[in-house]
């Protein structure tokens, strides 16, 4: 019975947050803020919509999820002011929220996180363009006979 009372404490001690380095925390903070800021095209409609989108983005990053959700809950008003104040740079709120240290550098403007499970829109449009060009350039006059590995009935 006592073991069941200790189970939540043991579970809390296995927090996945500990698996990220301080540099990774800084990087994840900037990625989340930049992604959400880009989602709204630098025009955040309301605090509520911003917080909901931040929560959604936090849930996409498993090892950073809990830490991110806590920061959004505690700093929602601050993040809204930062994103609507003009000239938003993700490193600034991440530094103020202590996700980044003084010597850590901001992510480059053209930074692309390694997210190989998703294709970006430029890749999709290139694939569609290549497929369309290939299909239209093929001649409809030529007929190719299909090849099979099935045994011939005539043999």
CATH says 12-108 is which class? Answer: mainly alpha
* Residues ≥6 apart with Cβ < 8 Å to 127: 119
* Residues ≥6 apart with Cβ < 8 Å to 55: 69, 72
Count Cβ atoms within 10 A of the Cβ of residue 115 and give its class: 0-12 exposed, 13-18 middle, 19 or more buried.
exposed
Cα(25)–Cα(73) distance, integer angstroms: 17
Amino acid 131: pLDDT:
47
Amino acid 114: pLDDT:
57
Write down the domain spans for the chain.
12-108
Report field, pTM of the whole predicted structure over 0.85 = no
CA end-to-end span of the chain, whole Å? 76
Q: How do the pLDDT tens digits run along the chain, 155 residues long? A: 555 555 555 455 555 445 788 889 999 999 999 999 999 998 999 999 999 999 999 999 999 999 999 999 999 999 999 999 988 999 999 999 999 998 887 877 765 655 554 445 555 555 455 444 444 444 445 555 556 566 656 65
* Residues ≥6 apart with Cβ < 8 Å to 89: 106
Amino acid 8: pLDDT:
55
């Amino acid at each position: 019975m006592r073991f069941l009372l200790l189970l939540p404490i043991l579970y809390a001690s296995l927090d996945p947050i500990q698996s990220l380095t301080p540099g990774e925390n800084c990087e994840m903070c900037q990625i989340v803020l930049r992604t959400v800021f880009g989602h709204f095209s630098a025009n955040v409609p309301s605090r509520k919509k911003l917080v909901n989108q931040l929560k959604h983005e936090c849930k996409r990053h498993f090892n950073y999820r809990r830490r991110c959700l806590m920061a959004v809950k505690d700093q929602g008003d601050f993040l809204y002011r930062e994103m609507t104040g003009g000239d938003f740079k993700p490193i600034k709120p991440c530094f103020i929220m202590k996700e980044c240290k003084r010597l850590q550098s901001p992510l480059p403007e053209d930074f692309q996180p390694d997210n190989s499970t998703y294709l970006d829109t430029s890749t999709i449009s290139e694939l569609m363009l290549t497929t369309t060009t290939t299909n239209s350039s093929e001649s409809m006059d030529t007929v190719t006979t299909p090849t099979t590995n099935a045994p011939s009935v005539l043999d």
